[in-house]
A and B are shown apart, each in its own frame.
Chain A
Amino acid sequence: MSASPSLASSMLSTMPASTASLPSFSLLEFQPLLPAAILAVTAMLLMLSEAFSVSKSRSYQAILAAVASVVAGFLAFQNTQLPVGLILDGRGVMDGFSSWITLIACFAAGMSSLLAFGFFRQRNAERGEFYGLLLFSAAGMSLLAVSNEFITLFVNLELMSLATYALAAFWRRSSRSVEAGFKYFILGAFASAILIYGVALLYGATGTTQLDMLHHQLPKALEDTPWLTWPGLILVLAGLSFKIAAVPLHMWTPDVYEGAPTPVTALMSAGIKAAAFVALVRVVLHVGDSSVVFLHLLSFLAAITMVVGNLLAIAQRNVKRMLAYSSIAHAGYILIGVAALFTANHLGNDVGVLSATNVANPTAETLRPMALQGILFYLLSYAITVVGAFGVLAAIEKREDDGAADAWDLNKLSGLATRRPGWALAMALFMFSMGGIPSTIGFLGKLYLFKAGISAGLIGLSVLGVLASAAGMYYYLRVIVYMYMKPSPETEMGARHWSTEFVLAASAVAVVLLGLLPGPLLDWLRQAALFAPN
């Protein structure tokens, strides 16, 4: 290690409060943690319920999990109005962005527990542990959103991930589920190791793990110890790219998404994606201004993620895998917004088609909020849509098909429009929304995102983005073709469950309603400030 005495001493001097005397926190500083606390406490209750409950019925578990999510979501919504600033001695951050991500996490958790209600009841596999893990995962997402320090970030990332590894393997009677959990765990642990290794290198180079301090130390560190700082930054970004499933670190996604029980897949694609993005945004925001390389890196990452995700999705006949690849593609679109976050400081750097053109003299002050709203709205719209889409899959999934090779073939959707017109209509809406067709929330999300992209001058990237999304429409339409234009097979449909139907109806209504009349949502999102370094 090269940690010179001066570095070590500067490190010590940055944390006097925590070593010298006990810091005093105001009550306000705990408020952003409240949703996570509620989720975690409920999770523990659910865990204990398995040990102490004498009642045979377990219906209350899903309801309890959903109610806890609603309460936590409501508190998170209240929190969006809090002032912006660092909390808990700089380890956490309080801003609208994190509260909105918490809200999305709560939404995902609540919807997935409702989906799981019907799903596991049909399989006689309702367990309190499942909902407990689900809420732990959501609590991890929520805490990840407020993390402003690498160790905190890492611990919360692990809280979220470990719970999800177990969830992915939860349906242990199916070999695929076990395989998915195993794969996810091995690769996820590998990615975490990469992340923490990068953090260690950065700590060595800058003497801090706190993001806002890192921001100040980084230019100097890049100059003094580039051979330590650069690997550290790259490893951190690689670890986070794994979590958002950006190409080339996307390989785990299709297998895990396919194998995991469908309600868990819904949670992963809606919640984990959002939480991982908030971590990425925070890190990138603090390190991005220091070098133009990050702009190139993120633009390149966005470009290949969009293109590869969409192209691979086209080749899939398995709907669940198709949606998994499409989730990779969506991560690519969001990366455009992430790249736009700090283009303002790097205009005029010519790197071919992906370079940033000066379109409207963007400044960081005008660009950042726009890009941030774009990312946030897109995450929200994607969460609503994808929960619905996996919800439809969970609804039509039959117990007998578990583990069958063609369990998710497009054929399973054949003639859905005549057998279950409501589900088919909802699925069609979700597909149009994912494709970004107007009058759905997905269109507004894309509009926001590409608006930020164009405003940032990322013209080449945006063009690539819309072309990729046009290609993406091909496989979304194929789902509709099977539902509406293929004859219905004679097999029987699975049973209905009210909670599944509720999820489908709520998501479908939200997709259209928020797509046409987002009403105050846009206002709220605009006020969602992001704590940014200055």
Chain B
Amino acid sequence: MNASSSPLLNYVVFLPMAFAFLVLLLPGNEKGQIRFATLLGMLVNLVTGIWAFAAFNPAGSEFQLEYRLFWLSDLGISYHLGVDGLAVALVLLTALLGPLVVLSSWRFVEERVKEFHVCLLVLQTAMMGALCSLDVMLFYIFFEAMLIPMYFLIGVFGSEERQKAALKFFLYTLVGSLLMLLALLWVFFLSGPEGTRSFDYAALYNNLMEANREVSLCMQNNAHCSNLSATAAALLKWGPWMFGAFALAFAIKVPMFPVHTWLPDAHVQAPVAGSMVLAGVLLKMGTFGFWRYAMPLFPAQAWAYQNVLVALSLIGIVYGALMCLAQKDIKKLIAYSSVSHMGFCMLGMLTFQAEGTMGAAYQMLNHGVSTGALFLLFGMLYERRHLRNMTDYGGIAKAMPIFTVFFLIITFSSIAVPGTNGFVGEFLVLLGTFKSNLPLWAGILATTGVIFGAAYMLWVVQRVFFGPVTQQANAGLKDLRFREFVTALPLVLLVFVMGLKPQPILEVLSPSVKRYVARVHQAKPNPESNTARELLRMHVRELPTPKLAQAQVDDSQPLNQPGERQ
């Protein structure tokens, strides 16, 4: 379909890495140079990210800016980059947070400056790579590779309990993703006879599509179970385990209840930059993984386990909010609010319905902006006082008026006040939940989460910013410096831009949303609704098997057929 190939995504993914090498070559005591070089790298990354976003045509084919090379073809793996609407929006978010992360730590990190910035740049590459991969194994490689720099960011540059938190973060994610690796290998072998198998996302999806249809028919009506193909039979029998492995890996990353316990520790111990990236981008890898891999590859299982996942998301929403109400530590509170907000993302996606899914996609971006900004702003306060408990603050508004305004705006975004970005996302999610096949109480329960959310955030604002100045040290706090102002301003503005004019982003997201819903609806137990049928008819089609980048490819070596070469 789309034969054009563009090298743009290579730059998006690997320029930060190139800058990491540059930084590595700089002398270790030239902290200024290192910071500027990193900032420059992130700005270049931002430019390429914006470029990619601008180059993406919402009316075009599903995956754009594709680029493909042979790589480990013996194992069925290729180097294949490309983005759809959701991915390109997340790429933009990641690129945007990059420079802000560097600026936020401008004065915070004074030791091992070089290592810190190299980690940031490598992490940027890994995140971009995971978002842009169109080969499942390539995605897995970037997904895992993200762990290493993040591990060092938390473990070396965090606060007191950092080593434990870093280890917990690493092992939690590793267990999930290793099981996913096995499930992936299993699916790979199921997907076709020897020689036609590939880890390429499109090929894998296409190879499984027919079997998935058979499985869902069989699950609706036993009469269809008699003459299943071998693949479908295996998928019917083992599919739940495979889906479970995928779901576990991504659920840990999201994080969903009950595998969220690594998140509060990691957030509390991580440095500001680490928290920002963790909340801003890394958590989205979980929801993105569900969206791109777990649901479309196993639609029948996704329907079968919809209620379980919805229940866990709802528990996450309410439990996260209740935990927030009980926290003294502000960073921990923001971390639990992440659990709650990411629960909304999951709930929206699990409605398997257009509005809810759109809300989920939008909420992913919102959460990146608002929680990223919360960590950023709190980091500024932390830099001044090095205290995390709410009781240590009070009456900050008098000393730091601009800071207070910023924090208030982000709070409004976080609690979804109309006019801010949070409203658009949460409204769509709730709307979708009520319109979907889920029971009414699911929507009602989710709504209580919004109310609790308002309660705990406003409570924080009240206790930290207003009231009398309880501690003398807080009275003398300086308001934002120019650098801090510049760092926070883009996110604050974005709250309004995304809240008042969501159309441009919704437009980019919308084709991805439609395709996601349609793909899951292939396997709907009883496809009654007209919209579902319409979507199915309009948007489900075989993914184009991508063309290879012309120049680098030896024509004698067709992809998907290892074993031919001598």
Q: Does B22 belong to the interface (CB within 8 Å)?
A: no
Are A481 and B74 closer than 8 Å at their CB atoms?
Answer: no
Q: Does A454 belong to the interface (CB within 8 Å)?
A: yes
Q: Does A148 belong to the interface (CB within 8 Å)?
A: no
- Closest residue of chain A to B179 (Cβ to Cβ) is A466
Supposing A439-B141, A455-B189, A522-B74 touch, asked if A477 and B151 sit within 8 A by C-beta, the answer is yes
- Closest residue of chain B to A369 (Cβ to Cβ) is B563
Supposing A467-B175, A477-B167, A526-B74 touch, asked if A454 and B182 sit within 8 A by C-beta, the answer is yes
Considering only residues 508-534 of chain A, those with a C-beta below 8 Å from chain B are 517-518, 522-523, 526
Q: Residues 152-189 of chain B: 1 if any A CB is under 8 Å from the residue's CB, otherwise 0?
A: 10011000001100110011001100110110011011
**Which residue of A359, A455, A466, A481 contacts B181 across the interface (Cβ within 8 Å)?**
A466
Q: What CA separation (Å) do A472 and B64 show in the bound complex?
A: 40
Interface centre among B137, B140, B178, B179 (most CB of A within 10 A): B178
Q: Does B147 belong to the interface (CB within 8 Å)?
A: yes
Are A474 and B178 closer than 8 Å at their CB atoms?
Answer: no
- Nearest chain A CB to B274 CB, angstrom units: 14
Are B155 and A438 closer than 8 Å at their CB atoms?
Answer: no
Which A residues are CB-close (under 8 A) to B55? none
Which A residues are CB-close (under 8 A) to B162? 485
Which B residues are CB-close (under 8 A) to A357? 238
Supposing A437-B144, A437-B147, A523-B74 touch, asked if A474 and B182 sit within 8 A by C-beta, the answer is no
Interface centre among A454, A455, A463, A517 (most CB of B within 10 A): A454
Supposing A359-B190, A454-B182 touch, asked if A443 and B141 sit within 8 A by C-beta, the answer is yes
**Interface of chain A, helix or strand or loop or mixed?**
helix
Q: Residues 435-468 of chain A: 1 if any B CB is under 8 Å from the residue's CB, otherwise 0?
A: 0011100011001101100110001001100110
Are A466 and B144 closer than 8 Å at their CB atoms?
Answer: no
Q: What CA separation (Å) do A243 and B230 show in the bound complex?
A: 42
Q: What CA separation (Å) do A106 and B74 show in the bound complex?
A: 26
Q: Which range contains the number of B residues in contact with the other chain?
A: 35 or more
Are B174 and A451 closer than 8 Å at their CB atoms?
Answer: no
Q: Does A366 belong to the interface (CB within 8 Å)?
A: yes
Q: Does A473 belong to the interface (CB within 8 Å)?
A: yes
Are A474 and B171 closer than 8 Å at their CB atoms?
Answer: yes
Which A residues are CB-close (under 8 A) to B185? 450-451, 454-455, 462
Are A466 and B182 closer than 8 Å at their CB atoms?
Answer: yes
Q: Residues 256-288 of chain A: 1 if any B CB is under 8 Å from the residue's CB, otherwise 0?
A: 000000000000000000000000000000000
**Which residue of A360, A447, A474 contacts B190 across the interface (Cβ within 8 Å)?**
A360
Supposing A454-B182, A484-B152 touch, asked if A359 and B144 sit within 8 A by C-beta, the answer is no
- Closest residue of chain A to B562 (Cβ to Cβ) is A526
Q: What CA separation (Å) do A451 and B162 show in the bound complex?
A: 35
**Which residue of A361, A448, A459, A469 contacts B178 across the interface (Cβ within 8 Å)?**
A469
Considering only residues 73-131 of chain B, those with a C-beta below 8 Å from chain A are 74-75, 115
**Which residue of B74, B178, B565 contacts A467 across the interface (Cβ within 8 Å)?**
B178
Q: What CA separation (Å) do A405 and B355 show in the bound complex?
A: 66
Q: Does B402 belong to the interface (CB within 8 Å)?
A: no
Q: Does A171 belong to the interface (CB within 8 Å)?
A: no
Are A450 and B181 closer than 8 Å at their CB atoms?
Answer: yes
Considering only residues 138-158 of chain A, those with a C-beta below 8 Å from chain B are none
Q: What CA separation (Å) do A65 and B384 show in the bound complex?
A: 61
Which A residues are CB-close (under 8 A) to B188? 451
- Closest residue of chain B to A526 (Cβ to Cβ) is B74
Q: Does A470 belong to the interface (CB within 8 Å)?
A: yes
**Which residue of B179, B194, B238 contacts A366 across the interface (Cβ within 8 Å)?**
B194
Q: What CA separation (Å) do A443 and B186 show in the bound complex?
A: 17
Are A481 and B190 closer than 8 Å at their CB atoms?
Answer: no
Considering only residues 115-141 of chain A, those with a C-beta below 8 Å from chain B are none
Which B residues are CB-close (under 8 A) to A444? 72
Q: Does A432 belong to the interface (CB within 8 Å)?
A: yes
Are A470 and B156 closer than 8 Å at their CB atoms?
Answer: no
- Nearest chain B CB to A156 CB, angstrom units: 32
- Closest residue of chain B to A373 (Cβ to Cβ) is B74
- Nearest chain A CB to B408 CB, angstrom units: 37
Which B residues are CB-close (under 8 A) to A484? 152, 155-156
Q: Does B43 belong to the interface (CB within 8 Å)?
A: no
Q: What CA separation (Å) do A43 and B234 show in the bound complex?
A: 57
Are B140 and A481 closer than 8 Å at their CB atoms?
Answer: no
Which B residues are CB-close (under 8 A) to A462? 182, 185
Q: What CA separation (Å) do A459 and B174 show in the bound complex?
A: 18
Which A residues are CB-close (under 8 A) to B175? 467, 470
Which A residues are CB-close (under 8 A) to B171? 470, 473-474, 477
Are A463 and B75 closer than 8 Å at their CB atoms?
Answer: no
Are B155 and A485 closer than 8 Å at their CB atoms?
Answer: yes
- Nearest chain B CB to A444 CB, angstrom units: 8
**Which residue of B72, B142, B152, B189 contacts A522 across the interface (Cβ within 8 Å)?**
B72
- Nearest chain A CB to B380 CB, angstrom units: 26
Supposing A455-B189, A467-B175 touch, asked if A359 and B234 sit within 8 A by C-beta, the answer is yes
- Nearest chain B CB to A462 CB, angstrom units: 5
Q: What CA separation (Å) do A462 and B184 show in the bound complex?
A: 12
- Nearest chain B CB to A414 CB, angstrom units: 13
Q: Does B497 belong to the interface (CB within 8 Å)?
A: no
Supposing A454-B185, A455-B189, A485-B163 touch, asked if A522 and B155 sit within 8 A by C-beta, the answer is no
Considering only residues 468-500 of chain A, those with a C-beta below 8 Å from chain B are 469-470, 473-474, 477, 480-481, 484-485
- Closest residue of chain B to A484 (Cβ to Cβ) is B156
Q: Does B145 belong to the interface (CB within 8 Å)?
A: yes
Q: What CA separation (Å) do A517 and B563 show in the bound complex?
A: 19
Are B163 and A481 closer than 8 Å at their CB atoms?
Answer: yes
Are B189 and A463 closer than 8 Å at their CB atoms?
Answer: no
Are B170 and A477 closer than 8 Å at their CB atoms?
Answer: yes
Q: What CA separation (Å) do A530 and B181 show in the bound complex?
A: 28
- Nearest chain B CB to A354 CB, angstrom units: 15
Are B141 and A470 closer than 8 Å at their CB atoms?
Answer: no
Q: Residues 211-239 of chain B: 1 if any A CB is under 8 Å from the residue's CB, otherwise 0?
A: 00000000000000000001000100010
Q: What CA separation (Å) do A454 and B242 show in the bound complex?
A: 12
Q: What CA separation (Å) do A470 and B248 show in the bound complex?
A: 15
Q: What CA separation (Å) do A517 and B70 show in the bound complex?
A: 11
Closest 3 CB pairs of A and B: A466-B178, A360-B189, A438-B141
A-B contact pairs, 23 of them (CB 8 A): A359-B189, A360-B189, A437-B144, A438-B142, A438-B145, A439-B145, A443-B141, A447-B181, A450-B181, A462-B185, A466-B178, A466-B181, A467-B178, A470-B171, A470-B174, A474-B167, A477-B151, A477-B170, A480-B151, A484-B155, A518-B72, A522-B74, A522-B75
- Chain A residues close to B by CB (< 8 Å): 357, 359-361, 366, 417, 432, 437-439, 443-444, 447-448, 450-451, 454-455, 459, 462-463, 466-467, 469-470, 473-474, 477, 480-481, 484-485, 517-518, 522-523, 526
Additional A-B contact list (14), CB under 8 Å, known A437-B145, A484-B152, A523-B565: A359-B189, A432-B148, A437-B147, A438-B144, A439-B141, A439-B145, A463-B182, A466-B178, A477-B171, A481-B155, A485-B156, A517-B71, A522-B72, A522-B74
